[in-house]
């Protein structure tokens, strides 16, 4: 599992930064990716990268400000040209369906694949056998959501030596045991998955917040997260200006991470007044509040490692 920032600028693009979009790459067996926001130019950022639109599985929109969604119609249209592009679900605030329907009607777009638009409320928005995604409303000038992605615990490694002693043939039965299913051999012998698998591995938690002032829901969504992505539009000391625009400072982002007990903080959504050197200095300047802070760098992967395995 890893994050790639396809845009880190607030409000408008700059010569070195695109507007907001984040890709979350999923591990096996999916090997696909999700997008969080699709600012203008997002699909251009993908050109020449490993990201192929037929591997895009879900899109999560935080809010309807243009720097977070103006790239969405073009990306959805282009996806139809990729062979094997299957159904796609987009999650976001009320009004998202109307926004897309209006553009598609006026421009005569035919996607060629099934598109589902889910206008969300607070609470659980996705739950499958690998992940749970929760949303909560933040404090911005438009309705805006943050997302908490929780990976379900994964089965531990199989004890291959024990499987050999029990006479379990390699193949589909290994897969069943790996998924936690008990099996019965042809001889009638029953084997419990718990007897041949290691300790289940805890899942990872990633929190990706939209634009926001500091608020209780930001802390709740980020509680004990392995990685928190929080906006840092302004430098510390500009809290009054940040509040007026519904944003946060580097100082406030560090305080949210600290209060939530997050393990790691990546800040993004930087005002165009700050160049890369200034952004690095601003992040270093709040390490006394939260040491594990780093600024997002576009097209750089941020790995989210699994916790160490503990074998039974």
Dig out the tokens for 217 from the structure: 């829901």
* Residue 68 is assigned to a ligand binding site: yes
* Residue 140 is assigned to a ligand binding site: yes
Calculate the alpha carbon distances from 218 to 32, 190, 209, 299 in Å: 27, 48, 7, 25
If one counts every other C-beta atom within 10 angstroms of the C-beta of residue 295, the result is 22
In 3-state terms, what secondary structure has residue 213?
coil
* Residue 37 is assigned to a ligand binding site: no
Which residue out of 37, 67, 129, 276 is catalytically annotated?
67
Which residue in this structure is represented by tokens 């890709």?
23
* Residue 230 is assigned to a ligand binding site: no
* Residue 44 is assigned to a ligand binding site: no
302 closest CA partner among 101, 25, 27: 25
- Sheet of strand 115-119, all strands in order from the earlier edge strand to the far edge: 115-119, 88-92, 56-60, 33-36, 21-25, 2-7, 301-303
Please name the residues in contact with 125: beta carbons below 8 A apart, sequence gap of 6 or more: 91, 118, 133, 134, 135, 147
Q: Answer for the pair 3, 302: CB distance below 8 angstroms, yes or no.
A: yes
The whole-angstrom separation of Cα 210 and Cα 30 is 25
* Residue 110 is assigned to a ligand binding site: no
In 3-state terms, what secondary structure has residue 78?
helix
* Residue 63 is assigned to a ligand binding site: yes
Q: Is 67 a known active-site residue? A: yes
In 3-state terms, what secondary structure has residue 30?
coil
In 3-state terms, what secondary structure has residue 214?
coil
Residue numbers annotated as active site: 67
Known binding residues for Zn(2+) are 63, 65, 67-68, 140, 211, 269
Known binding residues are 63, 65, 67-68, 140, 211, 269
């Amino acid at each position: 599992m890893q994050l790639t920032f396809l845009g880190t600028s607030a409000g408008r693009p700059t010569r070195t930064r695109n507007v907001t979009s984040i890709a979350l790459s999923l591990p096996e067996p999916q090997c696909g990716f999700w997008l969080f926001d699709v600012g203008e130019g997002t699909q251009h950022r993908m050109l020449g990268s490993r990201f192929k639109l037929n591997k895009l599985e879900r899109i999560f929109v935080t809010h309807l400000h243009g720097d977070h969604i103006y790239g969405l119609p073009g990306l959805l249209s282009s996806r139809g040209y990729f062979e094997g592009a299957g159904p796609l679900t987009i999650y976001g605030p009320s009004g998202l369906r109307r926004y897309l329907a209006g553009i598609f009607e006026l421009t005569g777009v035919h996607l060629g694949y099934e598109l589902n638009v889910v206008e969300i409320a607070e609470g659980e928005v996705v739950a499958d056998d690998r992940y749970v995604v929760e949303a909560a409303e933040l404090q911005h000038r438009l309705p805006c959501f943050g997302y908490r992605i929780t990976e379900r615990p994964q089965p531990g490694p199989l004890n291959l030596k024990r499987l050999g002693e029990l006479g379990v043939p390699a193949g589909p039965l290994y897969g069943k045991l790996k998924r936690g299913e008990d099996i019965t051999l042809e001889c009638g012998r029953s084997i419990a998955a718990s007897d041949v698998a290691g300790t289940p591995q805890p899942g990872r938690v990633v929190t990706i917040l939209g634009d926001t002032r500091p608020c209780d829901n930001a802390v709740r969504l980020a509680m004990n997260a392995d990685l928190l992505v929080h906006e840092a539009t302004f430098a510390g000391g500009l809290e009054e200006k940040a509040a007026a625009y519904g944003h946060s400072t580097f100082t406030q982002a560090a305080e949210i991470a600290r209060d939530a007990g997050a393990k790691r903080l990546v800040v993004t959504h930087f005002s165009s007044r700050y160049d890369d050197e200034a952004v690095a200095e601003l992040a270093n300047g709040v390490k006394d509040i939260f040491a594990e802070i780093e600024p997002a760098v576009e097209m750089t992967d941020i790995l989210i490692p699994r916790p160490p395995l503990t074998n039974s």
